[in-house]
Amino acid sequence: MKLKEMVEIINQQHPDIGTVEAMKLLNRAQDEFSARTKILESADKFDVVANQRGYKLADHILEIRSVDYDGKNIKRLAGRPLKRDLT
């Protein structure tokens, strides 16, 4: 089904919703579907800094399934770290 057809169906059921709003709602529904079903996967790469615990991740990252460093898989931390660094 094409986007135009989906917008037309929404407008039939909800005539007060404009085309732009209907498209935004459809995009949001698509994003939510993708996140819930985990249909999309990606890998990101970034540089690490000595003595830095936290990093800003890209907005599209919803879940971290694994971490590799220097070609080796890093085990998942079970529990809280002994020292917290919130800076």
Is 76 inside any structural domain? Answer: no
The pLDDT tens digits of the residues spanning 62-76 come to: 788 888 988 899 888
Instruction: Answer whether residue 2 shows pLDDT above 80.
Output: yes
**What pLDDT, on a 0 to 100 scale, did the predictor assign at position 82?**
81
Is 11 inside any structural domain? Answer: yes
Is 26 inside any structural domain? Answer: yes
The pLDDT tens digits of the residues spanning 15-53 come to: 999 999 999 999 999 988 988 888 878 888 888 888 887
Is 85 inside any structural domain? Answer: no
Q: How far is CA 51 from CA 39, 48, 71, 85, in A?
A: 35, 9, 20, 10
Number of domains comprising the chain: 1
**What pLDDT, on a 0 to 100 scale, did the predictor assign at position 24?**
95
Is 10 inside any structural domain? Answer: yes
Distance CA 34, CA 30 (A): 6
Distance CA 67, CA 45 (A): 10
* Structural domain for 25, as ranges: 3-37
Distance CA 10, CA 20 (A): 11
Is 13 inside any structural domain? Answer: yes
Closest to 26 measured CA to CA, from 41, 14, 40? 14
**What pLDDT, on a 0 to 100 scale, did the predictor assign at position 15?**
93
pTM, full prediction: 0.53
Is 30 inside any structural domain? Answer: yes
